[in-house]
Amino acid sequence: MSSQKRIAIGGISTECSTYSPLFQTEDDFNKIEGDSLVELLNFPFASFNIHAQPLFFCKSLPGGPVEAEYYSSAKDKFLKLLEAACPLEGVLLMMHGAMHVPDIEDPEGNWISEVRSIVGDNCIIAVCFDLHGNVTDEIFENIDIFTAYRTAPHIDIESTYHRAAKLLAEAVSGDFRPEVVWSSIPVLVSGEMSSTFAEPCRSIYKQLEIFDQRKGILDSNLMIGYVWADIKTAGASAVVTCSDQQSGIEACTEIAEMYWINRNNLNFDMQAGELDTVFKWITEEFSILADSGDNPTAGGVGDRADVLKALIKRGIQEVLVAGIAAPGIIKELQTNVHEPISIGNRLGGGGPIIKINPERNYIKNECAVVQFQGITIVLTEQRRPFHNLSDFIELGIDLNDFTLLVVKSGYLSPELQSLSAPSYLMLTDGAVCQHFDKLENKFRKRPLFPFQKPEEFVPLVSHKQLFSIS
């Protein structure tokens, strides 16, 4: 039996809107390490006679830019642990691809290239990305295996980890070296316009599985990119991990062309309209409204009260608004019992500030549930989504008591979709506004669809010289 091989696992994952005023610091990141990290990957490395050494994996709810100081200290800690784990035959990095750190043009590329400099050229580096990540030459020049999610909303996170882990395990134990080829595509839309549960992306992503069956192809990917970052590296890409470069280049070209050809068909996966318009569409039937411009799971601040203001103005009742971030609200409700409370813009996300005198309220799980003129509002101490049915149950809220649910969301989460209610995407303002013409656009490369209207595109596939394992 050959000697046991060693790999290290870890990474950093976040999505940063450059339109958010809220910087992310250490407190925003959840750090997974030790056995919990090995369990998160849940891959049978031992059956490949591989020891997987957990470093750490830091993950945050999407938000604003990451503070440079935190980025540097997290990276330094990671690299120190990596150095201590050497020598290594492999590394598995779990990244997102949409991190933004002021003055660092390509934080993921920077992180991965420093990993490479520590582990050396013979080590095989595999990465997993979110398909809403931006990718760069610096990333590809330093990796051997690339995999990304193939579903949005994401329901294949663990299986994506497994695709990367399996390729890494096979490469490490089989002594062969995979290669990654890539082509950027001058298209950049939101996740809501490229849901894999709607056309054209449903068919495009199905097609990736067929590419994988081709000889010489190990893993095919389409990166949609992250639209709410005004940075040079934002955009879509086709990325193929291959064992045969020529086959990889062909598949990569076809994926890039397939996405490009479909660019004019990219559209919201649910009925979408302005705030005023959406209110004309709703009926007596229980419906869900997604306040998309302030969606915290895409990097929105989550504190805006635009929709609440519209509900009050129209006198709409039996509504649940879940939630609006309002740090400090619990203390205020407990100490200034008869004072009006203010809702909106508490974190600098903008929009109206509304003052109300709650008729009733209760506090639970770091949330204040407030009732006012037939509207129930969940005010949260932390920025957070309400995407799971358990989020409501935990607060003692029964959705059957309402005819309208307003959530801060883009496309609906699988659990909210499972309610099969009429649902509408409200094209509201905020740090993740779906009106791209309203977004400042100083740094994105040009031309880039739909910001400009490029007419032609010929994929240019990049690759690197093959290393040979010594």
Which one of 5-13, 128-136, 156-164, 408-416 is the stretch in contact with Zn ion (CB under 5 A)? 128-136
Task: State phi, psi for 144 to the nearest 5 degrees.
Answer: -120, -20
Minimum CB distance to Zn ion, residue 189 (Å): 13
Distances (CA, A) of 178 to 10, 61, 216, 424, 464: 20, 32, 10, 44, 11
Q: Give the DSSP H or E segment for 335.
A: helix 329-335
Identity (one letter) of the amino acid at 401? D
Minimum CB distance to Zn ion, residue 207 (Å): 20
Looking at 232-328, list the stretches that DSSP marks H as alpha helix, in order from N- to C-terminal side. 245-261, 275-281, 306-314
Interface map 73-112 toward Zn ion (x if CB under 5 A)? ----------------------------------------
Minimum CB distance to Zn ion, residue 145 (Å): 20
Which one of 125-133, 243-251, 263-271, 381-389 is the stretch in contact with Zn ion (CB under 5 A)? 125-133
Using CB under 5 A, which residues numbered 317 to 356 contact Zn ion?
Answer: none
In DSSP notation, 393-421 reads HTTT--GGG-SEEEES-SSPPHHHHTT--
Task: Specify the residue, 142 or 297, whose C-beta has the smaller distance to Zn ion.
Answer: 297
Minimum CB distance to Zn ion, residue 432 (Å): 12
How far apart CA 31 and CA 29 sit, in angstroms, is: 6
Identity (one letter) of the amino acid at 173? S
Query: Omega into 385 within 30° of 0, i.e. cis?
Result: no
Minimum CB distance to Zn ion, residue 4 (Å): 35
Minimum CB distance to Zn ion, residue 362 (Å): 34
Task: Specify the residue, 95 or 180, whose C-beta has the smaller distance to Zn ion.
Answer: 95
How far apart CA 410 and CA 197 sit, in angstroms, is: 14
Identity (one letter) of the amino acid at 268? F
Which one of 129-137, 163-171, 427-435, 462-470 is the stretch in contact with Zn ion (CB under 5 A)? 129-137
All residues at 6 or more sequence positions from 210 whose CB lies less than 8 Å from its CB, including other chains: none
302 within 8 A of 384, measured Cβ to Cβ: yes
Task: Specify the residue, 130 or 381, whose C-beta has the smaller distance to Zn ion.
Answer: 130
**Residue 132 in contact with Zn ion, rule: CB under 5 A:** yes
Q: In the bound complex, which residue of the shown chain has the CB atom lying closest to Zn ion?
A: 132
Q: What is the CA radius of gyration of the chain?
A: 23
Task: Specify the residue, 14 or 380, whose C-beta has the smaller distance to Zn ion.
Answer: 14
Task: Specify the residue, 192 or 381, whose C-beta has the smaller distance to Zn ion.
Answer: 192
**Residue 391 in contact with Zn ion, rule: CB under 5 A:** no
Which one of 70-78, 132-140, 291-299, 445-453 is the stretch in contact with Zn ion (CB under 5 A)? 132-140
Minimum CB distance to Zn ion, residue 198 (Å): 15
Task: Specify the residue, 41 or 98, whose C-beta has the smaller distance to Zn ion.
Answer: 98
Task: Specify the residue, 346 or 384, whose C-beta has the smaller distance to Zn ion.
Answer: 384
Q: Give the DSSP H or E segment for 71.
A: helix 68-85
91 within 8 A of 82, measured Cβ to Cβ: yes
Minimum CB distance to Zn ion, residue 213 (Å): 26
* Residue 130: closest CA among 16, 234, 23, 13: 13
Identity (one letter) of the amino acid at 250? E
Minimum CB distance to Zn ion, residue 130 (Å): 4
**Residue 156 in contact with Zn ion, rule: CB under 5 A:** no
**Binding-residue total with Zn ion (CB under 5 A):** 2
* Beta strand pairing call for 423-426 and 354-356: unpaired
Minimum CB distance to Zn ion, residue 128 (Å): 12
Task: Specify the residue, 100 or 132, whose C-beta has the smaller distance to Zn ion.
Answer: 132
Distances (CA, A) of 201 to 4, 152, 267: 41, 9, 10
Choice from 28, 89, 106, 130 touching Zn ion (CB under 5 A): 130
The span from the first CA to the last CA of the chain, in angstroms, equals 20
Q: Contact positions toward Zn ion, by CB under 5 A? A: 130, 132
